[in-house]
A and B are shown apart, each in its own frame.
Chain A
């Protein structure tokens, strides 16, 4: 079977950034002057690398032999028949090395860092998956790794802090602001401002000043290309819908990018609905966010009427972010992607459902996309195909799930284990 790379309903719009890094009016390079040379260098090295056969062969080899690509596309037969509508497939990025899609742009960026001769790597992380992937590639490439993580996130995603440290990274808890992902990005940028001569900022999503959104998009697009091939193999066509969760937006861009020009493929981004609709209780930027410029780029931001950035709330640290990658802002305005949200309660339920019907543990972030698939599938004909981008696996969420889902025995164990550790 041949892979269809062009669709009859293709539009000319491929939504790439213009020369100044804008997607429509969003994005750009709103950075302090001290970072401009580093951003220019990164942009030049990236452009050069993309047409360098040896870079591309290193990248492909790492994707295959280190990340374990391609990741499988798994038909959720039990869940689909239980819901009684469209067929649901899972693009399982949770099976990529280090457990999430984040490794895709980490492998790419570490190759760029090596090309630039940088020895010191800075990263921010929310859920800890980007930090974990960064720590892993740093260990492999012999680079000094510094990961900023909101103090609140470091607590709730403690297993990933432990693994990052085991891999040799220094994890720095950030005590400012809401102690979440936005504050970690702030701290990482400040480290970069200070150490810009010898450090590369390995930014973890499709956000930040140009060229970061384009770089991470480029390295994540492999996911969408695989989705095209694998759906073609299984179903002989493109998916009817692709659903992805949206924190900063990298896993969603990775899954969507290949299909942006193919208007017949419905694209749905799911934001964190958190605990409620008022400002501060969620992280749904398209539900109350306004245009702002923060952390180097222009996009929708959750902010008060003065332009002070608002607190956010989500059970998933990776989606608990007040801004959203600039390409998503354009895709939202152009209505090319439909954005919805899922609440904390719905997400917990979806994690349980997937575990018990299919034997797959989803990260809390990715479960936002599942919530939407579970709502959508029964409304569609059985001939329709939904692909859910399962951006990550769930082991990191042990302590969060332990609080919300577990029987008393888990809590008793944690308490007993804590006592044992005290004795050491």
Chain B
């Protein structure tokens, strides 16, 4: 029996349609509700969920996720709450859970990597630190505790740099491909030059490609067939929850439509 992460990744070979990774901000709209939303996502067919630990200054996030983080912090959500949430959830759901946050949250939490791993977290997404650039022991700690870090690339990343990032990311479960130059946020259309960009990623990484930033509709995911193995939906879920009178039911329908 492999890890949940390995199980989800093993589905890739049999699925033409990209698998779905969804996102929640822990503590939004409330701690309890965010935990329930993850269960709904898992039950409705999401293959991975990233749990964002809210931070006051989320540099890569657009208004939707920034607003949700602000709200979660205002309600008193702490990084310790997030550790507890992932621990609770990892014993309830059959899919892998990852933490996403900014490096200040990692740096400030005592033994973050060890704690996250022990709580059942199966991967980290930290957009403001990259391997090969920093003096921090973060990447070594992750290796030591066998907690993979997801590398990120963007449309302006050169192939040379992709090669360098790839060489530091041998244990990563997938590569997070940011779809566009911009912050997170639901968009109507995906950029036209995506296929060429994702082709470059394919030839430089021996990893599944997870495309994120801007995906908000089932047809976006349809268009990613053969170009990406995983589709990431974040802000669109938060937009839906913010509007919905019955978030769990609406979320379930939305996830089902995305899974196709």
Interface residues of chain A, those whose CB is within 8 Å of chain B, are 20, 22, 25, 28-34, 36-38, 176-177, 182, 186, 189-190, 193-197, 290-296, 301, 303, 305-309
Contact = CB atoms under 8 A, between A and B. Distances in A.
A157 B59 CA distance: 26
Contacts of A197: 156, 181
B104 A292 contact: yes
- Which secondary structure dominates chain B's binding surface? loop
Nearest to B165: A33
Interface in B121-164: 127-130, 133-135, 152-158, 161
Interface of B: 55-57, 59-60, 62, 66, 70, 73, 78-79, 102-105, 107-109, 127-130, 133-135, 152-158, 161, 165, 178, 181-183
Contact of B178 (A33, A38, A290, A296): A33
Nearest to B66: A176
A208 B237 CA distance: 32
The 3 tightest CB contacts between A and B, nearest first, are A307-B108, A34-B154, A308-B56
20 contacts: A25-B135, A28-B133, A32-B128, A34-B157, A34-B178, A37-B157, A37-B158, A182-B57, A290-B108, A293-B129, A294-B57, A294-B102, A295-B59, A296-B128, A306-B78, A307-B55, A307-B105, A307-B107, A307-B108, A308-B55
B233 to A, nearest CB: 19
Given A177-B56, A197-B156, A306-B79, A36 B130 contact: yes
Nearest to A186: B57
Contact of B181 (A176, A195, A306): A195
Nearest to B152: A33
Contacts of A176: 66, 70
A33 B127 contact: yes
Contacts of A31: 128
Contacts of B152: 32-33
A303 B157 CA distance: 33
Contacts of B181: 34, 193-197
Given A32-B59, A176-B66, A294-B104, A37 B133 contact: no
Contact of B108 (A28, A190, A195, A306): A306
B128 A30 contact: yes
A301 B178 CA distance: 29
Contacts of A290: 108
Given A20-B135, A32-B128, A307-B55, A196 B156 contact: yes
A276 B78 CA distance: 26
Given A25-B135, A295-B57, A307-B109, A33 B153 contact: yes
A37 B156 contact: yes
Given A177-B56, A306-B78, 10 more contacts: A34-B156, A36-B161, A37-B157, A37-B161, A176-B66, A182-B57, A193-B59, A197-B156, A293-B107, A308-B55
